[in-house]
A and B are shown apart, each in its own frame.
Chain A
Amino acid sequence: MTKQIIVPFGPQHPVLPEPIHLDLVLEDEKVVDVIPSIGYIHRGFEKLVEKREFTEYVFIAERTCGICSFIHGATYCQGIEQIMGIQVPERANYLRTIWSEYSRLHSHLLWLGLYADSFGFENLFMNAWRIRERILDVMEQTTGGRVIQGSCKIGGVRKDISNAKLAEMNRDLDSIKREMEELTTVFLKDDTVIHRTRNVGVISRQDAFHLGAVGPTARGSGVAIDLRKTGYGAYGELDFPVITDSCGDCYSRCLVRCKELFTSVDIIQQAIAKIPDGPVDVKVTGAPNGEFFMRAEQPRGELVHYLKGNGTKFLIRSRIRTPTLTNIPPLVKMLQGCDLADVPVIVLSIDPCISCTER
């Protein structure tokens, strides 16, 4: 029997944007087992909910993640609105949907860049991020924040987008779409990229389902789960497909995300075409009394916000379950049996967001 050695991967590693520690048990160059450990950037957001008024906690909920921040804020607001029975104006729902999809675009483009970086394709990384910058510019023009938008509040949204600006965004998306088509062709057709990603980090449909994979990780293995199909926000009135692929390798997960970019563009354009006029917020009085599980689709998968209030201005419990946490067990399964050199690509292929995971 070959001697087993343990190689630490992280918490600081060139491919990792955030700290996660993996102990890789190796036999020669093959990974036979992985022991993950987290806990390097815990910030105690769930405790902070007891110390801040529920209306101000939106800003803290948003800061759970630095990439999908808008969706965190929107999910928290929707949860509180469900507890308090607030009916949000239609226009606010559409604006939330538009911003959520812009977040998804920016998150997927960020991921494509990091992913290219993980297999050493620096030029592709820069090209992906150049397109992402255009998305962030629109975010800043409409909300005032590039990454932390802060435009969601309980009872609606804080900023309205004028119809002229919406039309401009619609036109802009067409040119962004053309750029993304060129970019995704490289990810999906280039021989070098295919060589590094095909049949690497394979997880079967059964394993993905039983280990609780969510988001593109699950959809890349053929599990068709997409929380947007539950119809929260304005998604119920928009038509879009759930993108899946059957192979379950790194290439499939990349393919799902590449196709989702175009789905997002399509959703935004549909929403811009359908958005009704009217107010963007309602006045909120009272305090939440009750509990609710709010689920939403983040770029990385299913996000759950559990909120419980007792009729005072301070919530008594908040629990945030983020997609990366549930994607770690499938990641361990994917890594078993792979080569050491493929570990960075596989770890990146689940789109790990560790700040989210530890909150």
Chain B
Amino acid sequence: MGFFEMTKTALRTVLSRPATILYPAQAAKRTPLTRGHIIFDGSKCISCSICQRKCPAQAILLSKEAKSWQIDRFRCVMCSSCVDTCPAKCLSMDPVYTAPASAKGVEVFTITYVKPPKPEKKEEPIQ
């Protein structure tokens, strides 16, 4: 009985499209929610370093002095914890996976955000 079940499945498999894709030639399956890699927008970062503290893999290093934000793509576990906690919304998750690399290293980004000057208080006339 089981034999005939297998025959049915086998015949259907022969007649249908393959279940696998030819990966490097064809793009991998991805959905809008897929966690591929983190994108950093230096023009919005306010250097609060919450992302660094909330990263369970310790992949992010932020330097206020050097105005740099760096990520170790090999440490990053794509949990998107930093994306959720970023108050300035300068981090986002892209569904495309990180490209393979032949050497380990960190990616360094420059923070270009400039704090907008506070509106000057009008000097009140001394009475």
A interface list, Cβ under 8 A from B: 52-53, 55-57, 59-60, 63, 123-124, 127, 130, 133, 137, 140-145, 148, 150, 158-159, 182-183, 185-186, 188-191, 193
Q: List the 3 closest pairs (A to B, CB-CB), nearest first.
A: A190-B2, A144-B33, A56-B56
- Kindly report which residue of chain B lies nearest to residue A159, judged by CB atoms: B33
Contact status A141-B56, CB under 8 Å: no
B54 contacts partner chain A, Cβ-Cβ < 8 Å: yes
* B5-13, B41-49, B67-75, B106-114 - interface stretch: B5-13
Contact status B80-A144, CB under 8 Å: yes
- Kindly report which residue of chain A lies nearest to residue B55, judged by CB atoms: A56
Residues facing A in B73-99 (CB within 8 A) are 77-81, 84, 93
Known A130-B19, A140-B33, A143-B33; 12 more pairs at CB < 8 Å: A59-B77, A59-B81, A133-B19, A140-B34, A145-B35, A183-B9, A185-B2, A186-B5, A188-B2, A190-B1, A190-B3, A190-B6
Inside 8 A of A144's CB, which chain B residues have their CB? 31, 33-35, 80, 93
**How many residues belonging to B are interface residues under a CB distance threshold of 8 Å?**
27
For residue B94, give the distance in angstroms from its CB to the closest CB of chain A: 12
B interface list, Cβ under 8 A from A: 1-3, 5-6, 8-10, 13, 19, 29-31, 33-35, 53-56, 77-81, 84, 93
Inside 8 A of A188's CB, which chain B residues have their CB? 2
Inside 8 A of A145's CB, which chain B residues have their CB? 34-35, 78
Inside 8 A of B77's CB, which chain A residues have their CB? 59, 63, 148
Show 5 residue pairs from A and B whose CB-CB distance is below 8 angstroms, ordered by the A residue.
A123-B10, A144-B93, A145-B35, A159-B33, A186-B6
